[in-house]
Chain A
């Protein structure tokens, strides 16, 4: 019985009950593993579309995906390797290139120009829309330890870092889960 479950969310958003007895919500949970412009773009288009269609949305950023939630031009790294990684792997949505045909930044420039000509929202615009629509963005604690990323370098809307159990809790109560 749905009514018997104590819920901290609106009951109309509950669609069924999962195996562990928790309510499954009209919710999308996404792992953003990629840090490529095209893949991150796909992730944000789905996230904004879902939020605009009334779904609750959580995005878990891990590994290369952490680049998408870093402030523009943020330099990361503490030790030698960490700094090298930060230098070669600049964060921020303007710094990331497409997964194919980037050609040292030329591909990124070309895609940005083509998308502008066709009136497609830029990654930053999509990001702002996601924030406005209340999309929850969580960074992976383990990845940012490995990559020596200071959580202060993330955008203001990003919640404090979490681990796999926190993501799985979100995923378990979601109708849709995606890995990008």
Chain B
């Protein structure tokens, strides 16, 4: 438990980040987190929206220099 799955979304544009998130969330247990790195600025709007639609928890989402770093926890 409590292990984080790392997901590299760098260089990928819409809709691949959400498609890969959908795939990755099935690979972790409920309560576990996914930590992802992306370069598409679209994730700033899309990942929170995806979390709301799918009922998963957005733990953090931040811009670090030119990258976007976020953590999502599987809720159900």
Chain A residues within 8 Å of B, Cβ to Cβ: 45, 48-49, 51-55, 118-121, 126, 129, 133
Further 12 A-B residue pairs, CB within 8 A, beyond A53-B49, A53-B53? A45-B14, A48-B15, A49-B15, A49-B18, A52-B18, A52-B21, A52-B22, A52-B23, A52-B50, A54-B54, A121-B13, A133-B19
Contacts of A54 in B (CB 8 A): 22, 53-54
Chain B residues within 8 Å of A, Cβ to Cβ: 11-16, 18-19, 21-23, 49-50, 53-54
Contacts of A52 in B (CB 8 A): 15, 18-19, 21-23, 50
* A-B interface pairs (CB < 8 A), number: 40
A135 CB, nearest partner CB in chain B, Å:
11
Question: Roughly how many angstroms separate A140 CA and B49 CA in the complex, as a whole number?
Answer: 33
Smallest CB gap from A48: residue in B? B15
Question: Roughly how many angstroms separate A124 CA and B13 CA in the complex, as a whole number?
Answer: 15
